Structure 1
Amino acid sequence: MARRHYGLRVHARGRSRGEAWGGVIRVLRQGELDAPADHGSACKPGGPGHVWVNTPALMRGYLDRDDLTAKVVSSGWFVTGDIGVLDERGWLYLRGRERDEINKGGMKVYPSDIDAVIERFPATTDVCAFAFPEPILGEDVGVAVVLTETDPVTMLALHDWTTAHLARHQVPRRWYVLSEIPRTSRGKVSRQAVAKQCATATPINLARLQKGTTA
């Protein structure tokens, strides 16, 4: 069994943050993951919220960068930038990064939820969901995929798969097929780079594909 820790470089590693198995973290007694009282109330079990960490190992601040410190440390709490959900047992499920959150007409959409569904489709080799500007809703959902097959039947099957496994507001409105998904120097998917690349590309016309397969 692989054991992982929820930790950041700004505070010491160890059991004070929690231990993770399969991406799910058990909150331990030595540290707290919650919301400070002066920045809103703690979320009820099952409700997504911002993950703030309170631990004796928390850093005092960035050296000679009070501006950066003020953004991430408040009243002894560290702002992780993560979105998570706590269940009744005290397990923390990470949903993604706050900066990646899609605000679709006031409804919160987490790209990692979409990625998790599409990556299970048999023809998918890589995927990245992202936000794109939408004049009425503010933002909407786009997705870039790398597929082993890109014929119309496969694309429509992927769309049907996504529709069957996601809530209506989570289903991507724009689809792009790429040869590869841009990544950072650390190998992480760069949603910003994907969104920038797709902004100048033409999305797949699913209606035209549907017409072609039924003609």
Structure 2
Amino acid sequence: MPITVLLVDDEPLVRAGLRAVLEAQADIEVVGEAADGAAVIPLIRQLRPHVVAMDVRMPLLDGIEATKAVLKTIADPPKILVVTTFENDEYVYQALRAGADGFLLKRARPAEIVHAVRLVAEGETLLFPAAVRSLAAEYGNRQAREALERAALTEREEAVLRLIARGLTNAEIAAELYVGLETVKSHVSAVLAKLGARDRTQAVITAYESGFVTPA
């Protein structure tokens, strides 16, 4: 079964470029397009995509508000991959805080675009570049620190969270810690549950905002 993708961007050329790259892959299918975030929810309900590739800046409803609306309205929401021009755009970070699963630069190479879609579809975390890590640290808040304290993570769970924050996949974490893949999945699930995080991206944001992990 292919990974289905909905493209949301107000620039037709960007949508056309993403479609061309993604549809060249046997395991990915672009099932629809929209020019603004205001059209996202009806299309998700109609097409049920696995991933929404959504521009962060759009004229009517931007990617931040569209992400919030999707997560509030759709019972089983798709993964949301924010598409942006600048990685240090504060809008990107706000979208991640709102619940987006990762982001993709418009200038990314075709292989990077495909990798990002596959990674997000599988529930893995996209690597946070230094610019986004710094933004997370700047947004550090007491709520994040309290959430981490309440979580009472074990030593191994703390190690897993640090590796998630570095952008490692489950397989890479397993290799780093010399444990089995199923063990890592169990630890990741425990970390998310204890932090009350929707997904790995939200856990990473908590890790940076709380000061548990600091930008290199």
Query: TM class, shorter-chain normalised?
Result: under 0.3
Q: What is the TM-score normalised by the length of structure 1?
A: 0.28
Q: Between the two structures, name the one with larger relative contact order (CA 8 Å, sep ≥ 6).
A: 2
Return the index of the structure with the highest Cα Rg. Answer: 1
Alignment TM-score, normalising by the size of structure 2 = 0.28
Which has a greater percent of helix? 2
